[in-house]
Amino acid sequence: MAYWLMKSEPSEVSIDDVLRMPGKRVPWFGVRNYQARNFMMRDMKKKDGVLFYHSTCAEPGIVGIAEVSGLAIPDETQFDATSKYFDPKATRESPRWFNVEIKALKKTRLISLAELRERPALSEMKLLARGNRLSITPVMEKEWTAILKMI
């Protein structure tokens, strides 16, 4: 089993939104970074643990626990000319962007960046690395365990 931190802007899809969706599931659409896409395509497996992270908001931080519930499939937004995630170079025969499905398990208290930085056990966490802006990052098992204890 692997663990991941996945960022979402709450104005687009929040933990509360996903908890209200049928089956509490959402395709993780709109990722337009090749490294993050490759994590979804090559590395993510069903039942992998996910830290649901709100970004680009007043209080960024971990807000929930989820799991990967569906393996990578083409991201439909790349084909929709009205979507901000449209990619004119993508075709159904040769899609460029993929997404996994995530199932929200529970909402947690907000664990802020400042609180994460205070924990020595999280000092190597990819999220906290200088210059990191990836929307999906791997989480080591010791980091996952430390965060679950914080919750």
Q: Which residues contact 42 (CB under 8 A, 6 or more apart)?
A: none
Q: Which domain holds residue 72?
A: 3-150
pTM: 0.95
Q: Which residues contact 124 (CB under 8 A, 6 or more apart)?
A: 140, 143
Q: What percent of the chain is predicted at pLDDT more than 70?
A: 100
Q: What percent of the chain is predicted at pLDDT more than 90?
A: 97
The pLDDT tens digits of the residues spanning 51-81 come to: 999 999 999 999 999 999 999 999 999 999 9
Task: Please state the φ and ψ torsions of residue 115, each to the nearest 5 degrees.
Answer: -65, -40
Whether 3 and 49 have beta carbons less than 8 Å apart is answered as: yes
Dihedral of CA atoms 71, 65, 48, 44 in degrees, nearest 10, equals 50
Whether 151 and 111 have beta carbons less than 8 Å apart is answered as: yes
The pLDDT tens digits of the residues spanning 30-45 come to: 999 999 999 999 999 9
Which CATH number characterizes residue 68's domain?
Answer: 3.10.590.10
User: How many domains, in total, are found in the chain?
Assistant: 1
The pLDDT tens digits of the residues spanning 69-113 come to: 999 999 999 999 999 999 999 999 999 999 999 999 999 999 999
Q: Would you state the pLDDT for residue 133?
A: 85
